[in-house]
C-alpha cells in the first residue's frame, strides 16, 4: 500500500481529498499544518 502525507488546512477540502485517496487504495496521513510535525513526519515517509 502506498502511503501519502497530505497537508491541507481547509477541513472541507482535506476531508474530500483524504476520502478520495483512501477509496483509491492509498493510506493517507492528513495534517492541517506543515510546521507542527514536519521533521518527524518527513522521516517516516522517507524524506529527511
pTM of the model: 0.70
User: Which of 43, 2, 7 has its CA nearest to residue 22?
Assistant: 2
Return the SS3 of 25.
Answer: coil
pLDDT in tens, 6-41: 999 999 999 999 999 999 999 999 999 877 565 555
pLDDT at 12: 97
Amino acid at each position: 500500500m502506498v502511503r501519502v502525507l497530505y497537508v491541507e488546512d481547509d477541513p472541507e477540502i482535506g476531508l474530500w481529498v483524504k476520502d478520495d485517496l483512501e477509496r483509491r487504495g492509498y493510506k493517507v496521513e492528513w495534517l492541517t499544518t506543515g510546521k507542527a510535525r514536519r521533521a518527524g513526519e518527513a522521516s517516516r515517509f522517507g524524506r529527511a
